[in-house]
Structure 1
Amino acid sequence: MRLTVYLAGQIHDDWREQLKQKAEEKNLPIDFVGPMENHERSDNIGEEILGEQPNNIIKDETASQMNNLRTRVLMEKSDAVVALFGEKYKQWNSAMDAGAAIATNKPLILVRPESLHHPLKELSQKAQVTVETAEQALQALAYIFQEN
Structure 2
Amino acid sequence: MELTIYLAGQIHDDWRNEIRKKAEKEKLPINFVSPQENHALSDDIGEKILGEQPSKVYRDDAASSINNFRTRVLLQKSDAVIAYFGESYKQWNTAMDAGAAIQAGKPLILVRPESLIHPLKELSNQADVTVETLDQALEVLTYLYE
TM-score of the pair, normalised by structure 2: 0.99
What residue number does 2:13 align with? 13
Alpha-carbon distance, 1:88 to partner: 1.2
Shift of 1:118: 0.2
Query: Percent of pairs identical after alignment?
Result: 67
Compute the displacement of 1:12 (Å): 1.2
Tell me the alpha carbon deviations over residues 1-57 of structure 1, each in whole angstroms, 9 at most, x when there is no partner.
Answer: 110000001211111001001100100000000000111100000000000001000
Aligned residues: 146
The equivalent of 2:120 in structure 1 is: 120
Matched ranges for 1:43-62 at <5 A: 43-62=43-62
Partner of 1:66: 66
Structure 1 gap segments, 5+ residues each: none
Runs of 4+ displaced beyond 2 Å:
none
TM-score by length of 1: 0.98
Let me know the Cα RMSD of the aligned residues. 0.5
Number of the residue aligned with 1:75: 75
Secondary structure at 1:13's aligned position in 2? coil
The alignment partner of 2:144 has SS state of helix
Unaligned runs of 5+ in 2: none
* Residue 93 of structure 1: aligned partner: 93
The secondary structure found in structure 2 opposite 1:52 is coil
Cα distance in structure 2, aligned partners of 1:118 and 1:101: 21
